Structure 1
């Protein structure tokens, strides 16, 4: 897992591009980035002359492994739609590393994904950040939990409206969230009092998680499309003081100045979809550019499998076509999602100390004709494109990988 990638057009993302640069990875971590990097003896050398070298892309909102490819009911573990408050649920416990989506991710240069429960519940559960290659979730783990998923709008009201139970309206969805957070406030106070008096206290898995949200430890990833639902998300965040991250934000451009002034990040997308429901009537590839120009910190998502995850970079490309700055586009699939989700100490850029997740591209990745040729995760080459075919290294067979 020691490798030097030399002579490439190195794009650190959070620094200036380096023509003829090199990236040195030692023990799975980036050790050096620059033009005059000394390559120790015994290190594997990859000549990237004429090619571009970038950090692995970061998908900030996907369902890899919990909504599996080609598995139907058997591989559908995205939503536990039997309890409107699923804060105790963990996406971690439902991920299948053998999901074909992980191989697709690598072919598109995506090396890290934040896996989230679906949007069927007002409070869906805990999210997790993983690498896109490995045998077990523990082996793939970057950080857990990363945030708590919540949903406003059509999805939860449809799910529970069909069951003839709360919540079946937008006011009901907001009430479920508000009630849960009020209970968490009370629980926190009672827990503190019991600790001060040295008394035993019955723990509650759901409320323990929500206390972490109230304490600012875990951000609140709010599924919301319509502008009025985004306003509700802001209202609830004001009431309870948690860290809000807008997910999807289809009509976020209508409130771009408000979001920018409040420093609320937006994970926008998916962008390659039809307007399949009322909430999506203003979906447009122009919207990322509007948000970015207003000063909103932006990440782009596929919401895999809604859009296949290897099309993440293509969404960025077409957003550039519709007005998004190219530099911001690259940041929106690398360092921005990493920072928004609190994993930028591990991934998202080419910087000494970060994980050795590096992708060698045939050219500018924003060029639709460019390909990911070699993908390294923690310094290990896990995907190779050659002779018209991409091959993912088998994570269950390590001898050939130097493990």
Structure 2
């Protein structure tokens, strides 16, 4: 039985070549394997990959003859992280002065972020070096800046806007439809489109509804009634034999999966009272909900858990950005998890700091969130919430070989990825930042000719 043995570093180039054949069989051995699945943590395990899929994970995996062996040398093997609430592929470097938003005030629910994706965005390699191999790209309403009233933290010109224009239009109650992408260097980034609808609540939702929180709930219920009426009477609508409806045909069509419970609604809110109102609305209208923001989620954790609603949070949100988040605490993630809520941890901002997802998870652990729960919060929990757990989110047979070999604990800032696989294909361990660093770090190296003129 003959096998080739490679160190992690040597494996990167070899696996890149092997992946081109789409017939690579290789085993990553001698690593501490964090599966984020039923197998839990394996102190010293093997992950066997064939044709871009995981075929076996365990401590005693039989490696077939001819398989290439990658020695992890005691490093940590973990699933690729899933960046929730990201704008990866949907924004670029705002400092260039180019348009960093996608703005269409005539579309709301029908806005579909999949058509705005740019796989060549410079921020994608940076996120990938943070262990992120998949992302949920989430449209959001225009913000007033800073740690905004829309439930998100922001990085300058990162707002991707759909329907965020004049507040008197009810179509602005929805920001559009999210998509899941993969962060491979090459190939179509789209994994699944239309994974969720986004709607801001709280102060931002009130502003879009004329200034009152109660008005937003009433408007939403009216819109949902219109969607159901339209779905039952498409023929009458087409022949102009139907009453006036609040939304366009495109928006009505886009909301049908929401009212039927097939598409989750990402409800962006921070205040405990707003969260209670959202849970009540979801129960009355039979909606599938994902909470986002939830700075005061810990105050209503038992109610969220009872409703079976997952929550996307920034666990380092510890200062009030307004009256919506007076109850901000670094223990939010731990308290939600203790109540039985499926916690999803997002990075700082939407794209440029998405790589900080792992730092946020580590901080949540420091403030009481169990390590295994933190791992699931950046892997299997977002994968389940957005309907792609059959492909990503854990190291299990049959799933895509999206994984990272780390030099140490992935939540430790000094740890670095040694090997990144997306669908079994090795990814570059570099980014524009690193290339610029290497180009100019030696001041004695001559600049290119253009710089001497």
- What residue is the counterpart of 2:156 in the other structure? none
What TM-score do the two structures reach when normalised by structure 1? 0.85
- What residue is the counterpart of 1:125 in the other structure? 176
- What residue is the counterpart of 1:239 in the other structure? 284
Q: Specify every segment of 5 or more residues in structure 1 that has no aligned partner in the other structure, as ranges.
A: 161-165, 196-202, 392-403
Matched, 1:113 2:102: no
Deviation of 1:72 after TM superposition, in Å, equals 5.7
Distance 2:134 2:351 in 1: 18
Deviation of 1:248 after TM superposition, in Å, equals 1.3
- Contact kept, 8 Å, 2:93 with 2:100, in 1: the verdict is no
User: CA distance change for structure 1 residues 270 and 207 in 2, over 3 Å: closer, same or farther?
Assistant: farther
- What residue is the counterpart of 1:269 in the other structure? 314
User: CA distance change for structure 1 residues 7 and 389 in 2, over 3 Å: closer, same or farther?
Assistant: farther
Q: Specify every segment of 5 or more residues in structure 2 that has no aligned partner in the other structure, as ranges.
A: 1-18, 143-171, 239-247, 437-453
Matched, 1:331 2:376: yes
- The 5 A counterparts of 1:135-146 are 135=186, 139-146=188-195
Bigger Rg over Cα: 2
- What residue is the counterpart of 1:66 in the other structure? 90
Matched, 1:92 2:130: no
Can you list the C-alpha shifts for 1:256-294, whole angstroms capped at 9, x where unaligned? 011111111111126357543332333222100000001
- Contact kept, 8 Å, 1:270 with 1:302, in 2: the verdict is no
SS, match of residue 150 in structure 1: strand
- The 5 A counterparts of 1:1-400 are 1=19, 2=24, 3-14=26-37, 15-71=39-95, 74-77=98-101, 80=104, 82-83=105-106, 86-120=108-142, 121-135=172-186, 139-158=188-207, 160=208, 166-191=209-234, 204-269=249-314, 271=316, 275-302=320-347, 304-305=349-350, 308-384=353-429
- Contact kept, 8 Å, 2:123 with 2:352, in 1: the verdict is no
- Contact kept, 8 Å, 1:347 with 1:357, in 2: the verdict is yes
- Contact kept, 8 Å, 2:330 with 2:364, in 1: the verdict is yes
Deviation of 1:303 after TM superposition, in Å, equals 5.7
- Contact kept, 8 Å, 2:179 with 2:196, in 1: the verdict is yes
Deviation of 1:16 after TM superposition, in Å, equals 2.5
Distance 1:100 1:272 in 2: 27
What TM-score do the two structures reach when normalised by structure 2? 0.76
Deviation of 1:239 after TM superposition, in Å, equals 2.4
Deviation of 1:389 after TM superposition, in Å, equals 5.7
Distance 2:81 2:27 in 1: 19
The CA RMSD measured in Å over matched residues stands at: 2.6
Moved more, 49-58 or 71-80: 71-80
Deviation of 1:307 after TM superposition, in Å, equals 7.3
Deviation of 1:44 after TM superposition, in Å, equals 3.5
SS, match of residue 384 in structure 1: coil
- Contact kept, 8 Å, 2:230 with 2:237, in 1: the verdict is no
- Contact kept, 8 Å, 1:29 with 1:353, in 2: the verdict is yes
> How many residues align structurally?
373
Distance 1:385 1:99 in 2: 14
Deviation of 1:67 after TM superposition, in Å, equals 2.9
- What residue is the counterpart of 2:447 in the other structure? none
SS, match of residue 126 in structure 1: strand
User: CA distance change for structure 1 residues 52 and 210 in 2, over 3 Å: closer, same or farther?
Assistant: same
Deviation of 1:75 after TM superposition, in Å, equals 4.1
Distance 1:227 1:181 in 2: 24
User: CA distance change for structure 1 residues 226 and 71 in 2, over 3 Å: closer, same or farther?
Assistant: same
- Contact kept, 8 Å, 1:79 with 1:118, in 2: the verdict is no
User: CA distance change for structure 1 residues 66 and 274 in 2, over 3 Å: closer, same or farther?
Assistant: farther
Distance 1:109 1:189 in 2: 46
- Contact kept, 8 Å, 2:54 with 2:400, in 1: the verdict is yes
- Contact kept, 8 Å, 1:59 with 1:110, in 2: the verdict is yes
Can you list the C-alpha shifts for 1:293-331, whole angstroms capped at 9, x where unaligned? 011111111263377111101111111111111111111
User: CA distance change for structure 1 residues 281 and 310 in 2, over 3 Å: closer, same or farther?
Assistant: same
SS, match of residue 143 in structure 1: strand
Can you list the C-alpha shifts for 1:136-169, whole angstroms capped at 9, x where unaligned? 6xx11211111111111223444x4xxxxx4333
